[in-house]
Structure 1
Amino acid sequence: MAKISIRRRSSATTARRRRRRRPAGDGFSLGWQHGYWYGKCESVVQRSGVPFYTRDMHVLFITSGKGFPYSPLDEAVAQTLGLLASRLTVLTPKDDIVGTAARERPQLALVLDGLDFPVATIDALRGIGIRTAIWFTDDPYYTEVTANLAPHYDLVFTLERNCVPFYQERGCANVHYLPLGVHPADYRPRNPRMSVRGDICFIGSAYWNRVQLFEALLPRLSHRSFRLSGLWWDRLPDYARWRDRIDLGKWMGPAETAEQYNAHKIVINIHRAHDDSTFNRNLYNIPAVSPNPRTFEIAACGTLLMSDHRDDLALFYTPGVEIVTYESAQDMADKIDYYLAHEEERRQIALNGLHRTLRDHTYVSRLSQLLDLASYVPT
């Protein structure tokens, strides 16, 4: 039998060859770290789902009809209703809604937003015995308009708690507080491109309260990797200094927005001011105390949500455990420094927020509540 010779490599030679096979730079380390983190997020996703059931009912869903940026919300609500109702008909405000309803006889006609939807059509639906509901998506910023729309519906759903008594005072018998939520098919943990990763980002229009805050904040972030994206950010007094970190005039869809959230360690949320007459039609000056949809969308991506305070926020998340809140630009800057220096604490809060969001704040949860309330007929 021939003798087989085995040549053993030295440990130093083996180590050198392994180093040569490893990608250059720190890409291997970063890839491993993000893969580990992504796996932890997926573990939370898998154990956070909430069971739901399909109701034996026919829902006529009337979209906002406004196009982008409302169209992703239209699609999210329609897809979720398709899971929760045994039959779903989706129409736009321009379709033959009354004729379809008279022929198909849905148990509920649900209008989303409704600012561009004629109340004569709702009156006609009610006239043929169709139960109607509206879900206002921008309260309290357009109450000058919604005050006249709400009384035409059997049920009114509003994302702003302070608008519940406002509509009740205008004769609406069935008014319910129902914030928007998140569609996990759009907003969830993902593996973002290396080229877009950074420390901090904010995505949204430059309303004046946001301009004021970032004017004070940005000098504290000059040594950080940060990104702003949205309309009107050239209003910043020192815009020229920061322009290379701003995507001016960009309005991103859900996929690109979610990638930015996933790509950054901290994502900032700043609510609109209820009393900004430049943009709002809040003639009745109703204060806003409830969270915006961005709150849930950020948290659903498994990143640290850092939000300004709103009175109702603690009803949805525990500050310091599931999200982080701030009181001023100085307070936010200090907390950014802290959480970027304490990675494990930052990641644990992000995971807690992800779990809470998928458990309680998806459109499955919200629309399950809506359909159950709409199915109940008071005696």
Structure 2
Amino acid sequence: MSKTKRRLTESKVDPEYRKGRSAGYSLGWTDGHWFGRCEAVARKASPVPVKRPIHVLYVTSGKGYPYTPLDNGIVETLKLIAQQVTLVVPDDDIVSVAAAVRPDMMLALDGMHLSHEKVQAINALGIRTAIWFTDDPYYTDITAGIAVHYQHVFTLERNCLPYYANSGCARVSYLPLGVFPGSYRPRNTPHSMRGEISFIGTAYWNRVELFNRAIPLLAHRRLRISGMWWDRLAEYERWKGLIDLDKWMEPDETSEKYNANRIVINSHRAHDDETFNQNSARITAVSPNPRTFEISASGTLQLTDWREDIAQFYVPGVEIVTYDSPEDMAAKVDYYLEHEEERQEIALRGLYRTLRDHTYVSRLNQLMDLTMNG
């Protein structure tokens, strides 16, 4: 087609079509450019897994959702870094399996559904045993009685180290969960899902108190809250249009929600919530929750409440942003939504740090080192 005919043809096109085409092109370029930057960071940061000549017998939590995604992520990662992985559930005849396959070590997640007798029998076979606790310090009344049966205890809460040692555990190590990038990763989410601010999680009472004060400060923004029990809010009827009440999401959908929002808020559980916790020792929590790593792995800006150990894993203000009150949170939300370049740079640095240092590959390599070399 000649240039003259093309101009004549385009002049007859509906102006609204041309306007939409121009806007769509710009939006597509912006999305593609951002996703490309995330992919470049991911390729640079992600270590190449190396298989070890180790056979791991892995015992799932046996609890189902929400523990199933943790089990799946750990199993898939073990397959990348261990020569052989044998998978069992707590109700299996684990002792017979272990006697037959002779693994180098047994790793149990959570351990609440695995009998002490089975663990002791595995120990008697001369197989190294380890357990990884996922919910410390919230159920330490229960886990203290479980931990003593394992040769090595791993906890995601640093303040639980002396507690388990004083309970009679010979070897205890601090090992936060980290993230499985197969589930939590940058995604080019549909525009129908896009928003500005998101929080996903159960409405424990400290979070209810936080959002009772924060929602009026954030309501002028595009805010979505998802999770159990949010009808506990003092003005739930007023704000229920912002809330996906009692919605449970699998990791892929959660990651999509994180990606769809420019800022994702993190709020840790309280260690002294007597309505839910079983922590009579009142062990305070100073370590980051698994969501800390999952949000940052999704390539969005994380705004989290402060915990002492966060600075061990991310540089505040550089790779992650912290807040110390609802008012501080709201002010920082406004700031970063109005300073897009800064928001993106912090999100990318957080993504890089997470994929370099805080994936299950990194964590499970540490776990195997400590278990096998101790």
**Scaled by the length of structure 2, what TM-score is found?**
0.96
Cα separation, 2, equivalents of 1:265 and 1:286: 34
- Candidates 319, 326, 330, aligned match of 2:327: 330
- Candidates 232, 236, 239, aligned match of 2:233: 236
Cα separation, 1, equivalents of 2:2 and 2:34: 41
**Does the C-alpha gap of structure 1 residues 119 and 29 become closer, same or farther in structure 2, counting only changes over 3 Å?**
same
Deviation at 1:30, TM superposition (A): 2.5
- Candidates 4, 8, 13, aligned match of 1:8: 4
Deviation at 1:51, TM superposition (A): 2.8
Partner of 1:314: 311
Contact 1:22 1:28 in 2 (8 A): no
Partner of 2:29: 32
Cα separation, 2, equivalents of 1:26 and 1:241: 35
Deviation at 1:8, TM superposition (A): 3.1
Secondary structure, aligned partner of 2:158 = coil
Partner of 1:42: 39
Cα separation, 2, equivalents of 1:31 and 1:306: 27
Deviation at 1:15, TM superposition (A): 7.5
Secondary structure, aligned partner of 2:279 = coil
Partner of 1:171: 168
Cα deviations by residue, 1:296-327 (Å, 9 ceiling, x for unpaired) = 00000110000000000000000100000000
For residues 181-200 of structure 1, the aligned pairs below 5 Å read 181-200=178-197
Partner of 1:220: 217
Deviation at 1:128, TM superposition (A): 1.7
Partner of 1:154: 151
Cα separation, 1, equivalents of 2:103 and 2:307: 38
Deviation at 1:193, TM superposition (A): 1.3
Cα separation, 1, equivalents of 2:3 and 2:232: 70
Contact 2:128 2:372 in 1 (8 A): no
Cα separation, 1, equivalents of 2:2 and 2:126: 88
Cα separation, 1, equivalents of 2:11 and 2:334: 38
Cα separation, 2, equivalents of 1:15 and 1:227: 42
Cα separation, 2, equivalents of 1:215 and 1:185: 35
Cα separation, 1, equivalents of 2:118 and 2:12: 75
Contact 1:268 1:307 in 2 (8 A): yes
- Candidates 274, 293, 312, aligned match of 2:290: 293
Q: Structure 1, unaligned stretches of length 5 or more?
A: none
**Does the C-alpha gap of structure 1 residues 42 and 295 become closer, same or farther in structure 2, counting only changes over 3 Å?**
same
Cα separation, 1, equivalents of 2:358 and 2:131: 19
Partner of 1:103: 100
Cα separation, 2, equivalents of 1:16 and 1:113: 67
Contact 1:267 1:304 in 2 (8 A): yes
Partner of 1:123: 120
Cα separation, 1, equivalents of 2:135 and 2:80: 25
Give 2:29's aligned amino acid. Answer: W
Question: Number of paired residues?
Answer: 373
1:203 is aligned to 2:184: no
**Scaled by the length of structure 1, what TM-score is found?**
0.95
Cα deviations by residue, 1:238-259 (Å, 9 ceiling, x for unpaired) = 1111111111010100011000
Partner of 1:341: 338
Deviation at 1:9, TM superposition (A): 5.4
Cα deviations by residue, 1:171-199 (Å, 9 ceiling, x for unpaired) = 21211000001000100000111111100
Cα separation, 2, equivalents of 1:291 and 1:119: 29
**Does the C-alpha gap of structure 1 residues 91 and 343 become closer, same or farther in structure 2, counting only changes over 3 Å?**
same
- Candidates 54, 58, 62, aligned match of 2:55: 58
- Candidates 290, 298, 302, aligned match of 1:305: 302
Cα separation, 2, equivalents of 1:183 and 1:345: 26
Secondary structure, aligned partner of 1:162 = helix
Deviation at 1:35, TM superposition (A): 1.5
Give 1:64's aligned amino acid. Answer: S
Larger Rg: 1
